[in-house]
Amino acid sequence: MRQPYFIVVLAHSLHGRLRSIRIHHNAIYFMLALAAVLLLSLAGLLSSYLRMTWKVADYNALRREAESLRARYRELQKAYTQTHQQLASLQLFASEVLTAYGIRRRLEGPADISREGALVPTYRETLEEYNFLRTASLARFHRAYTQVWRTNMRPSIWPVDGRLIGAFGDRRDPFSGAQSFHTGVDISAPYGAPVRATADGVVVHADYSGGYGRLVVIDHGGGVQTYYAHLARVDVIPGQEIRRGEVVGALGGSGRVTAPHLHYEVRVAGNPVNPYRFLAEASYAAPPRKDFPF
């Protein structure tokens, strides 16, 4: 008769006693099956852990690569900005040289009708002549008015009566979230508040300019320029001579902004510098009501 169990005999080494233990064969099969399930579970957990470790390592590598690409992008953006500024300075210098040496433009008709006199200038020719005269005005300012306005050529007042909400230097871009360099300071004030020139100078730009929105740039001589961006309205024209404290426009929210404010920059030799040291000399506006670690 077949027995549906296994007998395990245990013998005591000292007393010589024998003890038998009966184990049902289903219990043996159950323990073997349980051991197999445990081994498979351990193998699955180990496999999952290895896959997770590989994914974490791959994610860290991708994050380091992304940080490297962001740093490279910032370097290229900075180099592009500097190159663009240098190109603008060279173009302005070339125009001043042309004016200084008395080079003039003439409007002449074709040879077969020249005896009838000069033709009426076209719109493009009129615009070119206007730009030429505007450059000449700027050159005359540098030569004739530098000594007269010398005491007011350093930016020394607040462009708008408000409070600082954005500092100069490295910050997180409010749109992309990436690290970026803020070339000026942001000043909050009521929409439409008058924006004033912080020093005597000549307006060299008064138009829409990409992310700056409506932008006014004033040249104060000696390589110093101030930028007034995100304006709602522009009240000056290029080539206009302006005194410290005169209104150049109204505070607004044009360009790349999240809320209305004034973006104010000071550039020396084409390079942005911290405007806070000039704002500290303000004589008409209240001191800032928010501190930043400049």
For 242-253, write each residue's pLDDT tens digit: 999 999 999 999
Residue 45 lies in a domain: yes
**Structure-token pair, residue 190:** 């009521």
Look at 113 and 188; give whichever has higher pLDDT: 188
User: At CA 276, angle to CA 272 and CA 280, rounded to 5?
Assistant: 140
CB 103 within 8 A of CB 94: no
**Does 204 lie in the same domain as 111?**
no
**Does 211 lie in the same domain as 260?**
yes
Q: Which residues pair with 20 in a beta bridge?
A: 9
Predicted confidence (pLDDT) at residue 142 exceeds the cutoff of 80: no
Q: How far is CA 124 from CA 128, 206, 207, in A?
A: 6, 19, 18
pTM above 0.85, yes or no: no
Predicted confidence (pLDDT) at residue 162 exceeds the cutoff of 70: yes
Residue 168 lies in a domain: yes
Residue 135 lies in a domain: yes
What pLDDT, on a 0 to 100 scale, did the predictor assign at position 216? 96
Number of domains comprising the chain:
3
C-alpha span between 274 and 183 (Å, rounded): 8
**Does 175 lie in the same domain as 274?**
yes
Domain boundary among 131, 152, 173: 152
**Does 135 lie in the same domain as 107?**
yes
What pLDDT, on a 0 to 100 scale, did the predictor assign at position 166? 85
Chain center to CA of 24: 78
**Does 254 lie in the same domain as 178?**
yes
Domain boundary among 109, 130, 152: 152
Rg over CA atoms, the chain: 39
- Which stretch of 137-141, 159-163, 224-228, 261-265 has the lowest confidence by average pLDDT? 137-141
Predicted confidence (pLDDT) at residue 257 exceeds the cutoff of 70: yes
**Does 193 lie in the same domain as 167?**
yes
**Burial (CB count within 10 angstroms: exposed 0-12, middle 13-18, buried 19+), residue 161:** middle
C-alpha span between 260 and 281 (Å, rounded): 25
**Does 248 lie in the same domain as 148?**
no
CATH of the domain at 257: 2.70.70.10
- Supply the range of the domain harboring residue 20: 5-65
**Does 231 lie in the same domain as 132?**
no
CB 248 within 8 A of CB 226: no
Query: Among residues 190, 201, 212, 189, which one has the least CA distance to residue 248?
Result: 201
What pLDDT, on a 0 to 100 scale, did the predictor assign at position 186? 92
Q: Which residues pair with 205 in a beta bridge?
A: 217
